[in-house]
Structure 1
Amino acid sequence: MTCDKIMLIRHSERPSADKKFRGVNLEGRKDKESLSVRGWQRAGALVRFFAPRDNHFVHPALARPQTLYACKAAPEDPSLRPQNSLLPLAELLNAESKVEFNRDYFEGEEAALVQKALAAPGPALIAWKHLTMHVIANAILGDDTTAPQYWPFERVDLVWVFDRRGGAWTFTQVPQLLLAGDRADVVE
């Protein structure tokens, strides 16, 4: 069985450039490569967004992922934020049933990531960095006109959903609306 649904999110909130909001690791220590406190709040809220207790999702395009993918940290870009964003969800899903949490692909390896995700069983969820989100979308859809060709820097509150219908893929955007200040609009 091959994957017929891929959901794509940007990693949760990062530390601010002015250091007003610092990054913290799981132990609560300062870590500029980890999420901000608000980012950890979003990561926690994503758990029931993608794995609701009653399986009633807030949007019909969403599904419980069976495979998780997060951008791998590299020496030249050691950000752990994509992995941090999915860590609480991975812990819950592993407690319920074994799910793969794949952190094997660096930014720049989006084509290989998409090939791996397309071969995965069931729905897949990818957390990635905003500059190359459109590369993932284009690789899934097979074109560069269906999905927006940028992900706005300030948006961490959207899900791009790709569904296989027959031999073609469809594209939907779902606002998360999980935390105060999340926006209901989508990327044009």
Structure 2
Amino acid sequence: MTSRIQRRTMLGLLAAGAAAPALGGCAKGRHGTDPAVSTAPEARTGDGGPDRLMIIRHAEKPTGSGAPYGVTETGERDDKSLTIQGWSRAGALIGLFAPRDGDGHPAPVRPGLARPARIFAADPSGGASKRPKETVTPLAAALGTSLDLRFAKGQEAALAAALRTASGPTLVSWEHQNIAAIIAHLGPVTPKPPTTWPGSRFDVVYVFDRHGEGWKFSQVPQLLLAGDSPHPIG
């Protein structure tokens, strides 16, 4: 029991620490002029913002049968859950998509991104991966919104159909092997996104801004944890 409580406490501290305002200051100082970061205009917040679709891969996962292990939010070992580092990223996403100033008021998001009005994640029921849902659960709580779990892995065409008719800023958390399938059903996208998502990358946001009958594509490196790359996926 003591060990379980210690693990739960550690997860909570990691998530809270990752979302601390210091991360926002770091992002503002290091990334404001980085050529790899999207130069798209900053989106407004809430439903009144532009039709900006953002897709992220779920956060870090176990790499094999040994450590690092996946753990649930209560600290129980679970191979379908995020690792400790993954939970750290999940907490840090609050500072990326829902930043607040020193007085606790909503602050501007990083250029090229937007504060999501709705969040989709892959349905974890039926023994599927819990990682897409876990990755955005802290963010959804910070925004006071519920997750849309209507679609599961393999239902990318149906998800894309819903995304095509959504308005305002939208965030999707998904498994990286199937992100290309979502994009394939969105309609015309320019420039053409990468055909594959590298297995080693958990640190990029794909951004799609509605442009006529299609979408304009860009990438924003997250730059949230040590080791995150400042370069987009090539």
Q: Same fold (TM over 0.5)?
A: yes
Flag the 1:8–1:71 CA change in 2: closer, same or farther, 3 A: same
**Alignment correspondent of 1:43:** 90
Residue 168 (structure 1) shift: 2.9
Counterpart pick for 1:171 among 184, 202, 217: 217
Q: What 5-or-longer segments of structure 1 have no aligned partner? A: none
Equivalents in 2 of 1:7, 1:55: separation in Å? 19
Flag the 1:164–1:93 CA change in 2: closer, same or farther, 3 A: same
Counterpart pick for 2:70 among 19, 23, 31: 23
Equivalents in 1 of 2:231, 2:205: separation in Å? 12
Equivalents in 1 of 2:213, 2:149: separation in Å? 28
Aligned residues of 1:24 and 1:35 also touching (Cα < 8 A): yes
What does residue range 16-95 of structure 1 map to in structure 2 within 5 Å? 16-53=63-100, 54-58=106-110, 60-75=111-126, 78-94=128-144
**Alignment correspondent of 2:37:** none
Q: Highest CA radius of gyration, 1 or 2?
A: 2
Superposed CA RMSD: 2.0
Aligned residues of 1:4 and 1:118 also touching (Cα < 8 A): no
Matched-pair identity in %: 40
Aligned residues of 1:11 and 1:85 also touching (Cα < 8 A): yes
Flag the 1:71–1:111 CA change in 2: closer, same or farther, 3 A: same
Question: Which TM-score applies when normalising by structure 1?
Answer: 0.89
Deviations 1:123-166 (A, max 9, x none): 11000001111111222243697111111111100000000123
Count how many residue pairs are aligned between Structure 1 and Structure 2.
Answer: 182
Deviations 1:85-112 (A, max 9, x none): 0000011111xxxx34111111111111
Question: Which TM-score applies when normalising by structure 2?
Answer: 0.72
Flag the 1:56–1:145 CA change in 2: closer, same or farther, 3 A: closer
Higher helix content, 1 or 2: 2
